[in-house]
Amino acid sequence: MKKINLIVFIAFLATFFSCETDSNVSVNFSQEEMLSNYANNLIVPAFETYKASTNSLKEKIAAFTASPSEETLNATQEALKVSYTAWSKVNAYQFGPAMGASLLSNSNTFPTKYTDIESNIVANNWNLTSITANNKKGLPAIDYLLSNQESAAIVTAFSDENRKRYLTECVADLDNRANSVYELWVNGYAAEFSANTGNDPSSALSFIVNEYNKAYERCKNQRVGYPLAKFSSDLTPQVSPMSVESYYNQASLSLLVSNIESLENIFKGKGENDGEGLADYLDAYYESGASEKDLTAEILNQFDVIKSKLDACNDPFSDHISNNDQVVNDLYDELTKLVVLIKSDMSSVLSVKITYQDSDGD
Amino acid sequence: MKIKDYINKQVSIAPLVVFRIIFGIMMASSAIRFWANGWIDTQFIQPTHFFHYYGFSWVTPLDSTGMYVVFSVMILSALAIAFGAFYRFSALVYFLTFTYVELLDVTNYLNHYYFVSLMAFIMIFLPAHRRFSYDVYRNPETFRSTVSAWTIDAIKLQLSIVYFYAGIAKLNTDWLFNAQPLRLWLASRTDLFLIGPLLKYTWVAFVFSWVGCVYDLVIPFFLVNKKTRIYAYIAVVVFHVVTSILFPIGMFPYIMILSTLIFFSSDFHEKIIIALGRFFSSENLAIEVKRGRINSIPQQLIRLGFALFFIFQLIFPFRYAFYKDNLFWTEQGFRFSWRVMLIEKSGSATFYVVNPDTNRKIEINNSDYLTPLQEKMMATQPDLILQYAQIIKEAFEKKGFENPAVYVDAYVTLNGRSSQQYIDPSVDLTKLKDTFASKNWILPFKG
C-alpha cells in the first residue's frame, strides 16, 4: 500500500507542478440552464407559432374552398407564406416528438411531385397517409396547388370538388401533425428535455447538435446545392430551378434567409429573449482553455459572410439557379465552409458524436 | 531448469473454471445487449456498404436472417462455454462467430472487442472445462483438479498487457500535460449528480489523467502481488465503475471487474465453486480420477503457439514507430494497440467526383452511401477515407462512367485543437492503394 500511496502522491504533485498556471480554471456553464432555455425560450414558442400558422392556413383554405375567389385565394397564399416562415423556425428541431411524428418528411418534402398530384385529383384516388405520399403533400403540395398558375386560373381550377378535397386533406394532415407535436412538447417533453443532461447519443445536447447539423446541411444541400446540381448523380450537372423550396410561391430566398437567421439564433440561444446557447457553451470551453480557438467568434463571423452573400441574391431565387449565377455559387461555397466549424470543431469541443446511432465507445 | 519447472508446475484448476463461467456469461449478456439495442440491424443489416479490415475484404455480412442466426449461435456458444458444455467446440464456435461479426465492418472497431476476440481465442486452448462442467458430468474421467500454472497465467498476462499497454499509450503530452481529451469529456458532464460540480475544474481533469495513467501502468503488478491484491482490486472496481458512469463504454467495465478476479488465489475460487455448486446437485465435487484424457492437440504445440501469440502481442502495438508524423493524426498503427479513450477526434469530409473526360465535378452526399456511424468514423481515418473513395468510384462505374476521379476536402479536429485540413485535396484517391507504407497523402499535423 505504501507504494501505491507514494505513486499517487507523486502523480498529484507532478500534476500541480506541471499545470500551476491554469489548474484552477473551470468550465462555468450549466447544461441544464441551456437546455431549459432551448426548450422554453426557443423550441416551444417556435412550435406554438408554427401550429398557430397551420391552424390559420387551414381556416383560410376552408374559406377559399367554400367560395373560391381571387380574394380568398390571396388570403391562403399569404397564410402559406406565414406557415413556411414558421416552419423555418422549427426546421432544426426534428427530434423527440417531431421525429416520432415524422414531421419533416410529412410536412416539407420538396420538390413536390406535381404530376402525381394532378393525376390523383383526376382519378379521384389518393392516400395521403401512405409513406410514398410524402412528396405529394405538406407545404410543397399546398404551395403547388395554390400558386401553380395565374390566380384567375387557379380560382377556376378550384371549382373541381376533387381538387378542393385534396387541398383540404393536405392542410388537415399538416395541421394535425403541427398540433400533436406542439402538444407533446408542452405536456411533458420540454421538462424531460431540459433535464436530459450529458453528451451521450440519447442526451438533449446530442439531439440539439445533431439536428442542428442536419438542418444546416438541409439548408445547404436541398435549398441551394441540389437546385444548383452540385449533387447530380450522373456527372452531367443540369441545374434544376424547380427544386428550390417554395418554387411556386417564389418565396425561396426569403425562406433561405429565414432558415439561416433561425440557425444563427439557435446557435446563440436567442429566442424571444437571449439566453444560454451553444455559443455560450463554446465560450465556456474556450475561456477554460479546454478548446484552443474562439469558435463562437469564427462561427458567427461565417454567418455574417453567408448573410452578405445572401444580400447579393434577389428574388426570384430560381432565376439565379437557372442562370447558374456566380453569386449563388459563391453563396454555396461560403455555406460549405461553415459545415467544418459546426460539424467537426463544435461537435468535437462539446464531445458530441455526429450520429444518431447509439453505440459503445472505447 | 527454471522454465521447465514453470511449464510443469501444477496448480488448482479453480480460477480457470470460475473465469470460464464469468467469461461465458458476460459474453452471452454482451451479445444479448447488442441485439436488444437494435445494433444487429443498424450495424450489419442497414448499411449498404461496409468498411473492411486490411486483408479481410472477403468477409461479408449475411442477410438479415443470417445475421440473427449468427448472433443466436454466438449467444448459445457463450452459454455453452459458461456451462462447460462441449467446451472446445463451443469456444471455437464463439471465437469464430464473434470474430466474424467484428471483421464485417471496421467502423465498429473497439479495443474491447479486440480484447474479447483474443480472449476467446486463448480460451479455445485452455482446459477450463475439466471441472464443474457439463463435460465432466457427462464424462467423469475427464475431471482434473489441477492444471498447468501457465494456463491461468496466460489469462493474467493478456489482461496485464491490456492495462500496461493502455498505460504506456497514455504517456503522451496531450494526456499528461494538457489533460486532453478528458478535459473536454469531463467538462460536458458537469451536470452529473454529486460529482458533476467538481468536473468543471481543469485540475480535476489533470488528476483523472495522471491517476488513470499510473493506474494502468501499475495495476497488473499490484494484482499479482498477494499483499497488495485486495487494495488493487478495490481500485479496479472503483476505476471501472467511475469510467462506466462517465463514459458510454457499455459492458467493458463489468467485464474487466469480473475478469480480474482471476488474479485471486485458488482458495478464493474454490469457495466460489462450492457456493455455485449448491445450485447444481449433480456436481460431484469429490470425484477423483487418476488420469486426464490425453489432449487431441500435443501440449508442446499449444505451448509453442502461446509463446508466439504473446510475443506478437508484445511487439505488434509498437509498430507505429515505423511511421512518421503524429500517431493520433495519421492513425497508422493505432488499432490493436490498446489506445483506449485517448483522442477526441471529429471530422467533416466532402467528397467530389470528377468526370475526367468533361471535367464536370459533383459533390457526394455521404448519407446516400453510409450510415451516420460509418460517416463519422470514416471522416477521421485515412484508410477508411480511401475505402470510401473506392466505394464511390465503383458506384459511378456501375452507372457507366469510366475512371471517375474522387477527391476529398476533409477537415479534422484533434483533442480540442482547431480543425486542420486532413487529406491532400489535389490527390485523386482512386489512384491510391492502401498499404502498410506511410501514407504521404495525409497532410502533416500542425500541432
Average pLDDT, chain B: 93
Distance CA A241, CA A223 (A): 10
Distance CA A16, CA A21 (A): 9
Q: Which among A16, A24, A235 has the least Cβ separation from residue B396?
A: A235
Q: How confident is the model at residue B295 (pLDDT cuts 50, 70, 90)?
A: low
Distance CA A300, CA A298 (A): 6
Distance CA B89, CA B179 (A): 46
What would the DSSP string read from start to end of A117-173?
HHHHHHHT---TTSGGGGGGSHHHHHHHHHHSS-HHHHHHHTTSHHHHHHHHHHHHH
Average pLDDT, chain A: 92
Helix axes B149-169, B299-315, angle to 10 degrees: 10
Provide, as residue numbers in chain B, all residues whose Cβ is less than 8 Å from the Cβ of A324.
none
CB contact under 8 A, A360 and B187: no
The pLDDT tens digits for B196-218 are 889 989 999 999 999 999 999 99
Provide, as residue numbers in chain B, all residues whose Cβ is less than 8 Å from the Cβ of A3.
222, 228
CB contact under 8 A, A16 and B231: no
Distance CA B22, CA B11 (A): 20
Provide, as residue numbers in chain A, all residues whose Cβ is less than 8 Å from the Cβ of B37.
358
CB contact under 8 A, B179 and A361: no
pLDDT given for residue A1 in this prediction? 46
Reported ipTM = 0.90
Q: Which among B110, B362, B365 has the least Cβ separation from residue A360?
A: B110
Residue with cell 460540480: B197
Provide, as residue numbers in chain A, all residues whose Cβ is less than 8 Å from the Cβ of B346.
343-345, 347-348, 354
Cis peptide before A316 (omega within 30 of 0): yes
CB contact under 8 A, A355 and B358: no
Average pLDDT on B306-312 reads 97
Residue with cell 485540413: B421
Is 0.80 surpassed by the pTM of this model? yes
Chain B interface mutation, best of A329, A332, A362, highest count of B Cβ atoms under 10 Å? A362
**Residue B42: pLDDT over 80:** yes
Given a contact cutoff of 8 angstroms between Cβ atoms, the answer to whether A230 and B363 are in contact is yes
Chain A residue with Cα closest to B213 = A11
pLDDT given for residue B407 in this prediction? 98
Given a contact cutoff of 8 angstroms between Cβ atoms, the answer to whether B409 and B424 are in contact is no
Q: How confident is the model at residue B300 (pLDDT cuts 50, 70, 90)?
A: confident
What SS3 class is residue A353? coil
Q: Tell me the nearest-neighbour CA distance from B257 into chain A, angstroms.
A: 16
Distance CA A23, CA B179 (A): 10
The pLDDT tens digits for B60-79 are 999 999 999 999 999 999 99
B3 vs A162, higher pLDDT: A162
What SS3 class is residue A336? helix
Provide, as residue numbers in chain B, all residues whose Cβ is less than 8 Å from the Cβ of A16.
203, 206
Chain A residue with Cα closest to B246 = A198
Provide, as residue numbers in chain B, all residues whose Cβ is less than 8 Å from the Cβ of A199.
185, 188-189
The strand pairing partners of B442, in sequence order, are B423
Chain A interface mutation, best of B191, B363, B375, highest count of A Cβ atoms under 10 Å? B191
What contacts A30, CB < 8 A, 6 or more positions away? Answer: A276, B190, B191
Distance CA A224, CA A325 (A): 12
Chain A residue with Cα closest to B166 = A362
What would the DSSP string read from start to end of A237-288?
----GGGSTTTTTT-HHHHHHHHHHHHHHHHHTBSSSB---HHHHHHHHHHH
Distance CA B234, CA A206 (A): 34
pLDDT given for residue A355 in this prediction? 76
A200 vs B61, higher pLDDT: B61
C-alpha torsion sign, points B116, B122, B123, B124: positive
Chain B residue with Cα closest to A234 = B399
Q: What are phi and psi of B189, to 5 degrees?
A: -110, 20
Q: Tell me the nearest-neighbour CA distance from B131 into chain A, angstroms.
A: 34
A360 vs A127, higher pLDDT: A127
CB contact under 8 A, B110 and A361: yes
Percent of chain A with pLDDT over 90: 85
Q: Tell me the nearest-neighbour CA distance from A131 into chain B, angstroms.
A: 19
Q: Tell me the nearest-neighbour CA distance from B229 into chain A, angstroms.
A: 10
C-alpha torsion sign, points A262, A263, A266, A270: negative
Average pLDDT on A308-334 reads 94
DSSP A346: I
Provide, as residue numbers in chain B, all residues whose Cβ is less than 8 Å from the Cβ of A231.
362-365
Distance CA B340, CA B330 (A): 16
Provide, as residue numbers in chain B, all residues whose Cβ is less than 8 Å from the Cβ of A356.
372
Provide, as residue numbers in chain B, all residues whose Cβ is less than 8 Å from the Cβ of A23.
201-203, 206
Provide, as residue numbers in chain A, all residues whose Cβ is less than 8 Å from the Cβ of B218.
4, 7
Give a three-class secondary structure readout of chain B.
CHHHHHHHCEEECHHHHHHHHHHHHHHHHHHHHHHHCCHHHHHHHCCCCCCCCCCCCCCCCCCHHHHHHHHHHHHHHHHHHHHCCCHHHHHHHHHHHHHHHHHHCHHHCCHHHHHHHHHHHHHHCCCCCCCCCHHHHHCHHHCCCEEEHHHHHHHHHHHHHHHHHHHHHCCCHHHHHCCCCHHHHHHCCCCCCCCHHHHCEHHHHHHHHHHHHHHHHHHHHHHHCCCCHHHHHHHHHHHHHHHHHHCCCCCHHHHHHHHHHHHCCHHHHHHHHHHHHCCCCCCCCCCCCCCCCCCCCCHHHHHHHHHHHHHHHHHHHHHHHHCCCCHHHHCCCCCCCCCCCCCCEEEEEEEEEEECCCCEEEECCHHHCCCHHHHHHHCCCHHHHHHHHHHHHHHHHHCCCCCCEEEEEEEEEECCCCCEECECCCCCHHHCCCCCCCCCCECCCCC
Chain A interface mutation, best of B182, B238, B346, highest count of A Cβ atoms under 10 Å? B346
Q: Which among B211, B360, B373 has the least Cβ separation from residue A235?
A: B360
Residue with cell 437557372: A322
Given a contact cutoff of 8 angstroms between Cβ atoms, the answer to whether A53 and A179 are in contact is no
Q: Which among B189, B222, B364 has the least Cβ separation from residue A198?
A: B189
Q: Tell me the nearest-neighbour CA distance from A19 into chain B, angstroms.
A: 7
CB contact under 8 A, A4 and B181: no
**Residue B292: pLDDT over 70:** no
pLDDT given for residue A7 in this prediction? 59
What contacts B218, CB < 8 A, 6 or more positions away? Answer: A4, A7, B167
**Residue B194: pLDDT over 90:** no
Chain B residue with Cα closest to A205 = B188
